[in-house]
Amino acid sequence: MTNLDMTDIEERIERAMYVLADCHEPDVAAARSRLASRAGSAIPPRRRRVRPEVWVTLAAASVAVVGVGALWAIGRPSDAPPESPAAQTDPPVAPSLAPVIPTPDRLAVLDPQPGDAPIRSDPVLDWVHGTRSTAAQRWFVRRSSDGAPSGGISISDSTALDWEMTFVDAPSAGISGVDARVVVTSEAAQVAWLTEYGMRVVTGAGDVSAEEAIAAASTASNGDLADAGVPAGFEEFAVPTEQGSVRYEDTQLTITYSTVGPGEAVDVAVASLLAPVRDGPLTPLAGRQDAWVTTTFGGHPTVIVALDTDAVATIVGLPGTDLNSVVGALAVVPAGDVTIGNPEVTHGIPANARKTYGEIARGRWVAYEYSTLHGTDCLSIDASWGGSGDCSPPGKVDCPVANPTGGPNSPSGFEVVVPYHADDVEVIVNGVPAEATIEHDQGFTFAYGPAPAGHPSIEVTIGGQPPC
């Protein structure tokens, strides 16, 4: 057996330097000034650096933190020893063709821009980490006597990443045939259950009660999402699909551009009512009939505004942002005019890294092959389910990398990545063979399972022998 709790100190230092440079706090006062903010310097410092979730996801995808980040890396100098015998058991696997990664034609920006030019999210990372809009969704809304939306129900299929954090300990929803759990907050009731391919979530909003959400969930508990019936008293509306986001780093302002399908019309009031992670009340933007104000991401001021019959923009800013001024400056431009932000470059992975894409039952992943500034050959894997690690010691590029996982809201476990197809993988945690799920894809092997909390010793054998 080979204990894999080893770290290349030089690589860690190199990555840490990039992270420190990237985490320098921007001039928040100047940011507010550019956005005509009325908050001045009254916002507590602890609230100034919270970022909208789509960009938090990208940052988490770039920084390796045990149990929280989403980056494995295996490295060796270019003059390292030849491949291990285990790695030669299979022929080399050519990098997979890029999957169908949606690339936007248009994006919403500010004109004139308030300072630094915007950057847009990396479509590859958007694909890997699966933003909410990539999941299949259906929206149902009922209206009050004046025609305004009063309540809504959304049903979506997604990966099961939030199950352990949100639903695993929630009370049962009492739906026959599925282990459905219900979570009720001041803004919405959510019912969720695990499916063969991930998780189905039913969310109520507005005047929809928990009982109504559970009733809608019971009709959608079996079969495809398309088979779910329209709840009594509701009508179905087109769901805007996120095309891409831009961010102004100097103001920490994020603008997401979403559209509905050909021939469909977007209803901005419905889109605002059912806005993902909305956590505050919903009110019209003063002086406008095509924009609604709320809060998201734990209190960030947010406005959803119609840009055309088929498009809406969702703007998330710092506390105190003057949303009226921001909405007045919105413009739609060709996406090619906006530079793509590449978090990997910031953290030491070059833009020309060779990419291999994959998808297993646990989620999506992308492997980057590149050389570091010090000439070390690295293979880094960014995955939708999270992960951790850094380059192993020199000469270990063909060795498995193992890391503990878990956090305050998720159970303890382990995950192992083997950079080749390997059968008979066994994981030993604290000297005891562990229960592991094994998956193969694109010439890689993934193993994961439960483990004791803390810092367990994780060892790997392949065919009963140490792999390195």
Q: pLDDT tens digits, residue range 358-411?
A: 888 888 888 888 877 777 788 788 888 764 345 555 556 678 888 888 766 567
d(CA 461, CA 459): 7
Examine residue 364 and state whether it is found in any structural domain, yes or no.
yes
> What is the structure's pLDDT at 235?
94
pLDDT digits (tens, 9 = 90+) for 88-97: 444 444 445 5
Identify the weakest region by mean pLDDT among 19-33, 134-148, 187-201.
19-33
Examine residue 218 and state whether it is found in any structural domain, yes or no.
yes
Examine residue 467 and state whether it is found in any structural domain, yes or no.
no
pLDDT digits (tens, 9 = 90+) for 320-350: 898 888 999 999 999 989 988 765 665 567 7
Neighbours of 161 (CB within 10 A): 18
Find where tokens 């479509």 sit: 123
Do 119 and 252 fall into the same domain?
yes
| Containing structural domain, residue 159 | 133-237
> What is the structure's pLDDT at 386?
66
- Take residue 20 and report the two structure tokens written for it: 């420190």
Do 78 and 217 fall into the same domain?
no
Do 122 and 248 fall into the same domain?
yes
Examine residue 309 and state whether it is found in any structural domain, yes or no.
yes
Do 302 and 393 fall into the same domain?
no
Q: Over the chain, what HEC string results?
A: CEECCCCCHHHHHHHHHHHHHHCCCCCHHHHHHHCCCCCCCCCCHHHCCCCCHHHHHHHHHHCCCCECCCEEEEEEECCCCCCCHHHHCCCCCCCCCCCCCCCCCEEEEECCCCCCCCEECCHHHHHHHCCHHHCCEEEEEEECCCCCEEEEEEEEEECCCCHHHHHCCCCECCCCCCCCEEEECCCEEEEEEEECCEEEEEEEEECCCHHHHHHHHHHCCCCCHHHCCCCCCCEEECCCEEEEEEEECCCCEEEEEEECCCCCCCCHHHHHHCCCCECCCCEECCCCCCEEEEEECCCEEEEEEEEECCEEEEEECCCCCCHHHHHHCEEEEEHHHCEECCHHHHCCCCCCCEEEEEEECCEEEEEEEEECCCCEEEEEEEECCCCCCCCCCCCCCCCCEEEEEEECCEEEEEEEEECCCCCCEEEEECCEECCCEEEEECCEEEEEEECCCCCCCEEEEECCECCC
What average pLDDT score do residues 215-222 get?
89
- Take residue 72 and report the two structure tokens written for it: 């494995």
Domain boundary, last residue among 207, 237, 267: 237
Distances (CA, A) of 274 to 281, 321, 350, 362: 12, 22, 38, 27
Domain boundary, last residue among 311, 340, 369: 340
Do 443 and 391 fall into the same domain?
yes
Do 123 and 249 fall into the same domain?
yes
Listed residue (467, 465, 383) closest to 418, CA to CA: 467
pLDDT band at 59 (very low <50, low <70, confident <90, very high): very low
Contact, 210 vs 230, CB < 8 A? no
Total structural domains within the chain: 3
pTM for the full predicted model: 0.68
> What is the structure's pLDDT at 445?
94
For residues 26 and 346, which has the higher predicted lDDT (pLDDT)? Answer: 346
Find where tokens 């770039």 sit: 62
